[in-house]
Chains A and B, each alone.
Chain A
């Protein structure tokens, strides 16, 4: 059997399966050979980070350099004291997450809520400053990440900020997250509803 015929048969078989199952798409075993290999060069500018520091780019920064970057490129939207403006408030809020009061809002910031410091590097690198995303060098991003963490009383000192050091930062709310336990089970409810 020629390759073309084989491919044709496999594809037809898959088509029949799709029609039967509207939930899952059945895995298509065919290799079509479309697209081209992506080279290391193609991929070098992409940034993503895992909490253990893998995937973060090379580079390093300092808190003092970070203050300069922040004042120049972030303060206009996030405030001189990181108190927020057009952009989110970045520090404060510890101790506000446990709260059962519908009138009082919890204060969720990098300091009080974010579980991983690597996320901060990743997000600033990809999306900030808001009007010029992707314009900071890796060293600048390490620096400003360090500065925000120091203003949040999470980091201090003159140690260089790097992929390894960020993966070791113990964020205050590191253990604040739980997995999804849903679905909940609700019974058709209540014989005595009223206006609230």
Chain B
């Protein structure tokens, strides 16, 4: 079922094709929405399928000169509020329906001439603006019960992902669990097996950390050729939240670890009863069981009421809906750590327990499918992160990696957390290839795709599938159109 397990060429192509389709459907809608970074005042036919050089073959004469994408649309809204409002009024919801997470309200001609919405009208829980429409979109698998949805990184500002936009990967749907009856069992090689209610769990001293989680399958469509068009498609399986919960060391101390215990099985209470083995050293060092996300209870699709956070490890290890922990002397060799989440090399050997997410960065604006409105100033911005610690440096190149200059990093720069970088750029109207390259505090340098493939090989169209952390290239053509290319 999963794209992560290509069984034949035909099936493989089919799966990727349906991802491309999902993205195209999303883009078609976004191009007509004034607040989308992909907005076009004169929507055009979808661009040519992305090959080596996606922009080629598009007749420039057929392209409207005045396409208002990206920064152009922002400028319109800012400089001309009347025009901005006129667009906004009709664009997001001609049928009076609000986007997900919003409530539709009629828009007055002039908000200074009529009272606004009564306080408390929202029932006491706020919603986002009806003009904000970005959503996660899902890979169209045959069953929506095992699938994933991606974070719209191109819309993000700062480093925190709104909880409702945090990427998700579920193997048996999203479990609905009543915290009042939920129990956490801890047993195996322990002195006293125990069970904890959620109120027990919340009585322990708590910690909070702002951390990224990245699925190790992030970017899997991009190994052998540029496939998806937007940064949401190529990089949207990474998000950042503030997580709050109880250190696993506290819980383990409570049950008493027997000597010889080396691994923990962590098990979810969803219908896939997801399991992964975690080394006990990692558990004692910095893992925790989170019940909070961005200041409130963790979202259902993120594992409500309890999720394992294993800082810097691949997303699949961050078991959601945790109901059980079993200690053992050996790893359990579950399906997810054998059949999946192992990196098959061309020599037929697969790397197992490749748990840590290496350093990676990507430019989120400008990125694929946006259009620069003309020569002039643009702020290049994006995100960098490393599962091994803090980001030390991010360099940006506008000439495809020939020359590099360092970008400004927005503090706080936290370990195992996304760091926003910014780079001022004056576009001269000529073709440009935009890239970012990060270095983390261990000195690890983000590789080019060529360097990564040298080490990992290409065993099939989606290579070794997992852990693609190569430098991303966005090509800006002379008309300002940005597209996903391989350039190394």
Contacts from A to B (Cβ < 8 Å): 11, 14-15, 18, 22-25, 27-38, 42-43, 46, 48-52, 55, 84, 86-89, 93, 97-110, 113-116, 118-119, 122-123, 126-127, 130, 133-134, 176-191, 193-196
Contact = CB atoms under 8 A, between A and B. Distances in A.
B355 A180 contact: yes
A100 B458 CA distance: 6
Nearest to A103: B461
Pick the most buried of A84, A176, A179: most chain B CB atoms within 10 A of its CB: A176
A49 B347 CA distance: 29
A180 to B, nearest CB: 4
Interface residues of B, number: 105
B332 interface: yes
Given A31-B253, A194-B400, 19 more contacts: A23-B415, A34-B200, A37-B193, A43-B185, A98-B348, A105-B12, A105-B461, A115-B338, A116-B333, A122-B335, A133-B271, A177-B351, A185-B445, A186-B444, A187-B445, A190-B401, A190-B450, A193-B402, A196-B52
B457 to A, nearest CB: 6
Contact of A99 (B207, B324, B459): B459
B374 interface: no
Contacts of A180: 351-356
B161 interface: no
Contacts of B109: none
A15 B273 CA distance: 35
A122 B200 contact: no
A176 B349 contact: yes
A14 B205 contact: yes
Interface in B1-35: 1-2, 5-9, 11-12
Given A46-B185, A177-B350, A29 B8 contact: no
Interface string B246-257: 010110011000
Given A38-B193, A186-B447, A195 B486 contact: yes
B265 interface: yes
B209 A179 contact: no
Contacts of B209: 22
B350 A178 contact: yes
Contact of A179 (B185, B267, B352): B352
A69 B22 CA distance: 36
Contacts of B185: 38, 42-43, 46
A32 B485 CA distance: 56
Contacts of B85: none
A31 B349 contact: no
Contacts of A35: 194-197, 200, 254
B333 A88 contact: no
B278 to A, nearest CB: 13
B487 interface: yes
B334 A38 contact: no
Contacts of B352: 177-180
A105 B402 CA distance: 34
Contacts of A130: 143, 145, 172
A15 B1 CA distance: 46
A185 to B, nearest CB: 8
A111 B328 CA distance: 27
Nearest to A116: B333
B346 interface: yes
Interface string B225-269: 000000000000000000000010110011000000000010100
